[in-house]
């Protein structure tokens, strides 16, 4: 077992709490096979408003697809470090293997493999608002195991279809046409990831992933039986564990959806605990819009309220700015949607490039 780097030690206020009972019953559980569409939409509305997190069952994604991914990535992560680093990502090659990722400037206790769904994915080439160049993100697939590319691509197709269905339900829950969000995903920048959290000798001081909110539209997460995901409950601010439920996916809303809904639905902080005995795997899918999307509250929703709560920002440039913290320790807080909240006076962000809205 590797020793803990001092840089991984969380500040006392962020360190794991004594374990609380995992609350599968707390996180809403939604059956997508329900024939009662109105009831299903109401369930989605309640989960989005009250939690920002929910679990789904009977989602029509074959379980064997997930199992094939799990088998392949276990083989990959158990290769030597030199072998894995043959597909290591960096500031130029943003996809592939990585083992030094940071959350809020603190190293995470994990290693990851990232891949994009559309090959290549069209992305912003620069954070400069006057630079219209486009980058082409290409995947780096390992030679071993040879089946990893195929199983990940198959799984990603299932995730795209599931995400499309979820977005239709979210739109209906807001009183909008089911396909209202479709225009934002013509050249979507969605991605898949596999996380491995090794056993940790000091789980009371370290987090697999520190407290954070996801910047995209929504996340579809498969986790193994080990567990470790914790959600910060909106009603009281307490961290609760999400108990693994076989065959279920965990859904959490991202910052983009919070802005589109003008704050009606909010993204929620979550984190990942580690343990000293077992490794843990999780497989998130991140639904993201096209890079050229200007993210702003939907007009239909702001017409019902007094004003838009957020200024528009360019998704591609926002995402590229956020990626900076993966490769360096920043001296200031990385860009967040709170920096685009409409306030009486202009908000200045020190050392943040002028790239948006």
Instruction: Give 45-64 pLDDT, tens digit per residue.
Output: 999 999 999 999 999 999 99
Residues 110 and 212: their CA atoms lie apart, in Å, by 15
pLDDT band at 162 (very low <50, low <70, confident <90, very high): very high
Count of CB atoms situated within 10 Å of the CB of 309: 18
Alpha-carbon distance of 149 to 133, in angstroms, equals 29
Q: Poorest-confidence range of 147-156, 310-319, 348-357? A: 348-357
pLDDT on residue 343:
63
Residue 118: band (very low, low, confident or very high) from pLDDT cuts 50, 70, 90:
very high
Kindly give the pairing relationship between strand 53-57 and strand 29-31.
parallel
- Crossing angle for the helix pair 63-77 and 148-173, nearest 10 degrees? 130
Residues 109, 197 contacting (CB under 8 angstroms) = yes
Region 113-125: mean pLDDT is 95
The answer to whether the predicted template modeling score (pTM) of the entire model surpasses 0.75 is yes
Crossing angle for the helix pair 37-50 and 148-173, to the nearest 10 degrees:
100
CA-closest candidate to residue 291, choices 78, 178, 135, 119: 135
Q: φ and ψ at 139, to 5 degrees?
A: -75, 150
β partners of residue 3: none
Q: What are phi and psi of 280, to 5 degrees?
A: -130, 140
pLDDT of residue 152 exceeding 60, the answer is yes
**Tokens standing for residue 95:** 């996809």
Q: Where are the alpha helices (DSSP H) in 174-260?
A: 255-260
- In whole angstroms, give the CA distance from residue 228 to residue 272: 5
Q: Can you tell me the distance from the alpha carbon of 67 to that of 222, in angstroms, rounded to the nearest whole number? A: 10
Whole-number Å distance between alpha carbons of 176 and 94: 35
Cis peptide before 157 (omega within 30 of 0): no
User: What are the φ and ψ backbone dihedral angles of 259, each rounded to 5 degrees?
Assistant: -70, -45
């Amino acid at each position: 077992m590797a020793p803990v780097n001092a840089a991984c030690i969380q500040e006392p206020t962020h360190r794991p709490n004594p374990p609380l009972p995992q609350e599968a019953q707390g996180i809403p559980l939604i059956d997508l096979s329900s024939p009662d569409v109105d009831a299903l939409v109401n369930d989605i509305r309640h989960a989005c408003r009250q939690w920002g997190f929910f679990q789904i069952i009977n989602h029509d994604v074959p379980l064997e697809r997930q199992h094939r991914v799990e088998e392949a990535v276990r083989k990959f992560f158990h290769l030597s470090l030199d072998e894995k680093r043959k597909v290591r990502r960096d500031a130029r090659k943003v996809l592939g293997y990585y083992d030094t990722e940071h959350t809020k400037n603190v190293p995470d206790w994990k290693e990851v493999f990232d891949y994009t769904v559309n090959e290549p994915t069209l992305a912003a080439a620069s954070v400069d608002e006057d630079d219209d160049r486009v980058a082409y993100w290409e995947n780096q697939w390992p030679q071993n195991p040879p089946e990893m590319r195929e199983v990940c691509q198959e799984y990603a197709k299932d995730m795209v279809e599931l995400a499309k269905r979820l977005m239709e339900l979210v739109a209906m829950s807001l009183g909008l046409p089911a396909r209202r969000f479709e225009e934002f995903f013509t050249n979507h920048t969605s991605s898949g990831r596999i996380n491995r959290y090794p056993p940790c000798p000091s789980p009371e001081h370290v987090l697999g992933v520190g407290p954070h909110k996801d910047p995209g539209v929504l996340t579809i997460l498969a986790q193994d039986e080990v567990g470790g995901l914790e959600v910060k409950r909106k009603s009281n601010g307490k961290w609760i564990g999400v108990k693994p439920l076989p065959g279920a996916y965990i859904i959490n809303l991202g910052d983009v959806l919070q802005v589109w809904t003008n704050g009606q639905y909010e993204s929620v902080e979550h984190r990942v605990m580690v343990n000293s005995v077992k490794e843990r795997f999780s497989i998130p899918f991140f639904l993201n819009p096209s890079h050229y999307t200007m993210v702003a509250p939907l007009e239909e929703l702001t017409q019902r309220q007094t004003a838009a709560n957020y200024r528009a920002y360019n998704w591609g440039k926002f995402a590229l700015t956020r990626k900076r913290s993966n490769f360096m320790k920043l001296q200031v807080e990385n860009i967040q949607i709170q920096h685009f909240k409409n306030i009486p006076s202009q908000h200045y962000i020190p050392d943040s490039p002028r790239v948006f809205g």
